Amino acid sequence: MATLIITEKASQAKDLRAAFGARFGQILPAEGHLLRLAEPEEVNAAWKSWSCVVLKPDGLYPTRPAAGGNKPTKLKAIAAALKTCDDVILATDCDREGQLIGQEILDHLGYRGRVLRALFTAQDPKSLQQAFARLKPNVEMRSLYEAAVARQQADQIFNFSLTRTATKTLLTPGVRGVIGIGRVKTPTLAIVCLRELEIRNFRPEDYFEVVATATVANGSFEMRHAPAAKLRIKERVRAEAIAKAAAGHNGLLGVSIEEKRQVPPRLFDLPSLQKTCGQRWGWTADKTLAVAQELYDGDGKKLITYPRAEARYLTENQIGDAPAIVAALTRLRGFAHLEIAPPVIRRGKSGHFCDKALEGVSHHAVVPNVNVLDDLETRLARLNEDEKRLFALICRSYLAAVMPDYEYRQTVVTMSVPVPGAAAAEFRAVGRIPLRLGWKAVYQAVDPDAEAEAEQTLPSLRDGENAILSDARVEAKRTQPPPRYNEGTLVDAMQNAWRFVEDPALRERLKEAKGIGTPATRAEIIKGLKRQNLLAADGKLVLPTPAGLQLFELLRGAAPALVDPGTTALWEMRLDEVVTGKADFRAVIDGIAAAAHDLIDALLKRSSGTVDLTTSAPARRPGRRRISGQAGNRAKPEDSKPVRTRRGTKTAQSSTRKPAPPATGAYDEGSARSQAPTAKMVAYAQSLARGKKLTLPERYQQDFGACRRFLDEHAR
């Protein structure tokens, strides 16, 4: 009996071969979506005439083979294998999108044989063998597939229709370009714009704290009167009265000593990795993903597990890997000083190994790859500096997770100072004495100052001891606006978009859905907003451009649902109903089409205002520093055009790169658009797409400009 296994990625196919040898006939990776949603002729006609209509034909959008990279070859290989097999096992990711990738191939090719489903969240041999020992009939996953179809079809309807309407109604006359609207893209723009407006409207307030030196038999230390934010001292006169009362005050100390322990932080998923790299090194979300991807599947590297992780836990099967990983890492020079014997295993949701926390999740936390420990040094020698830095960060995270708790003794000291004509002022001091560094040793070794405690070192104290206050002084403070986002903190805000929603039910659903977008798409969403000149980089920060702020204000006034993350939560709730059988997936698609129709009417009825996409400088207030050379990021209006994504939907993308210098083959884009690229350009583009797993642009074989832009962007 011949069995065909269809996986989502080549890495899954490789791990299955390692786990099962020649037990199965063929194992073929789909490498993502081999099919795209086709646009019927009426959709293309509507685009040309800029019709403001809901672009939903009768029935569903049909699927068509995707043309980019080597996808046609992969689809052809799967089609040939299906003719000779008796059974098919879908071994794609176990989430909604993974189910779609596997099932839509079978539906497109008209396969009617027996189909089984393998569900796993880790790709170690034990997890794979267990998953294949309990295969499920794929028919049981039908509702998950229908929910994925509903999401895919609804996105196409929603994004197509609203993009056309926004472009027709909001684009400044005479300016060429496309105003792209997306279910994730537009709320992401709103998150950045809301923060910018919050900063602009911020009014700083002065407040005051009082500090004094407390002297006891065994030494001296500082005590501070600093009320909570709502009780801050706003009048200097009041602060000076407290300082005057504190000067020379002789009173009793309240001393409480408590021994505490702190568990290690969670392991990394992709969003937390992007946030950390952005804060520490100023990396963009896209750079973090690119470096992690190279560590994962770069030639001769493969040092970490799948980087597009959406969970911060490992499976309980991976507990057995801990001794081997620890032993291998502590042989490296940077970790040789650590003593981890035996590794500390923390189970459950409060720990790091938890099967329950991974239910319905496709990928566990990002950790070192247990399968390459034998030649670790050889692989490390192939890394560049950024790859070494990121790999060390992931290793430290794993080692910390299996090290003992950080234990310390915390001392809290209080003293009440009577103030004439007012309530007594409480002065306070906090000190911490490490008893056992535990997991903090792995961070202290690389940067001793990084984990320095904020609390001061206190002398030996006892409760009820007498102390004298001296050197009382007033410190002037000022409230600060919230910080602007960098790409890492913006990814974090997208993941925690529930914070921007007031409705309790929608907040909870967004928490469950882990925000807007997915770990694999958020970096691309930010990148796309930059290409459209709606967001711009200012050093490490991400700011809205004037065009981005204009668009946000217009949408917020005319169709607030477009900029509200709660809209995504509503979608997810409807898709949940499809999964649980409470709603028909076609009815959900019709409902979203109706919502798109209402939003189109709202945009058509708006009072006034347009968006000029030709400006891309960060929209800071006058007088603030602007990044130099920003004009180089302005896209020419003629560069803006709809571009097909890997799912087949169209989004508005604008080139933000300068024309290539003459040494690399300068060209005039207007005249080159109708020319065909050279055979070498086409071959090089195909090679890049295969090597970096990129989607080639439409007409790259016929359109010189499209091929040239692809090479300019990726041939670095």
Least confident of 55-59, 212-216, 424-428: 55-59
pLDDT of residue 521: 87
Query: Which segments of 474-545 does DSSP mark as H helices, in order?
Result: 487-495, 504-512, 522-531
Q: Which residue has the tokens 């000083």?
A: 337
pLDDT band at 242 (very low <50, low <70, confident <90, very high): very high
Mean pLDDT of 157-162: 88
Q: Is the per-residue pLDDT at 649 higher than 70?
A: no
Element (H, E) at 568: helix 565-579
pTM: 0.78
d(CA 557, CA 190): 12
Q: Is the per-residue pLDDT at 595 higher than 60?
A: yes
pLDDT of residue 19: 84
Q: Which residue has the tokens 């007012």?
A: 422
* Intrachain domains 3-134 and 270-401 with the same fold: no
**CB burial class (10 A; 0-12, 13-18, 19+) of residue 316?**
middle
Strands 466-478 and 206-216, by their bridges, are antiparallel
Mean pLDDT of 628-655: 34
Cis bond leading into 307, ω under 30°?
no
Q: Is the per-residue pLDDT at 251 higher than 70?
A: yes
d(CA 597, CA 161): 8
DSSP assigned state of 24: S
pLDDT in tens, 37-74: 887 655 666 566 666 777 665 678 888 999 888 899 99
pLDDT of residue 667: 27
pLDDT band at 641 (very low <50, low <70, confident <90, very high): very low
The answer to whether the CB of 416 falls within 8 A of the CB of 467 is: no
Alpha-carbon distances, residue 388 vs 14, 391, 393, 505, 700 (angstroms)? 25, 5, 9, 43, 35
Q: Is the per-residue pLDDT at 11 higher than 70?
A: yes
Say which residue, 604 or 46, is predicted with more confidence: 604
Say which residue, 606 or 249, is predicted with more confidence: 249
Provide CATH code, domain 270-401: 1.10.290.10
Say which residue, 419 or 615, is predicted with more confidence: 419
d(CA 466, CA 458): 15
Least confident of 73-82, 510-519, 610-619: 610-619
206-263+406-478: what fold? Topoisomerase I; domain 3 (2.70.20)
Does 151-200+484-635 carry CATH code 1.10.460.10? yes
Phi, psi angle pair for 222, to nearest 5°: -90, 140
pLDDT of residue 653: 37
Mean pLDDT of 151-174: 89
Burial 148-165 (b: 16+ CB within 10 A, else e): bbbbbbbbbbbbbbbbbb
pLDDT of residue 632: 33
Say which residue, 22 or 368, is predicted with more confidence: 368
CB atoms inside a 10 Å sphere around CB 279 = 14
pLDDT band at 617 (very low <50, low <70, confident <90, very high): low
pLDDT in tens, 515-570: 888 888 899 999 999 999 999 999 889 999 999 999 999 999 999 999 998 888 88
Nearest Cα residue to 512 out of 521, 501, 528? 501
DSSP assigned state of 263: P
pLDDT band at 138 (very low <50, low <70, confident <90, very high): very high
Mean pLDDT of 408-414: 94
pLDDT band at 638 (very low <50, low <70, confident <90, very high): very low
Least confident of 110-119, 154-163, 640-649: 640-649
Q: Is the per-residue pLDDT at 716 higher than 90?
A: no
> Where exactly are the structural domains of the chain?
3-134, 151-200+484-635, 206-263+406-478, 270-401, 657-716
pLDDT of residue 49: 64
pLDDT of residue 39: 73
pLDDT of residue 69: 81
pLDDT in tens, 652-674: 333 333 333 333 332 233 333 33
Query: Which segments of 337-381 does DSSP mark as H helices, in order?
Result: 376-380
pLDDT band at 462 (very low <50, low <70, confident <90, very high): very high
Mean pLDDT of 508-515: 83
Across the chain, mean pLDDT equals: 85
pLDDT of residue 633: 35
Mean pLDDT of 699-715: 76
Nearest Cα residue to 223 out of 251, 260, 190, 193? 251
pLDDT of residue 622: 44
Name the most confidently modeled range: 126-140, 603-617, 658-672. Answer: 126-140
d(CA 586, CA 154): 10
Say which residue, 303 or 713, is predicted with more confidence: 303
Does 3-134 carry CATH code 2.60.40.10? no
Say which residue, 492 or 614, is predicted with more confidence: 492
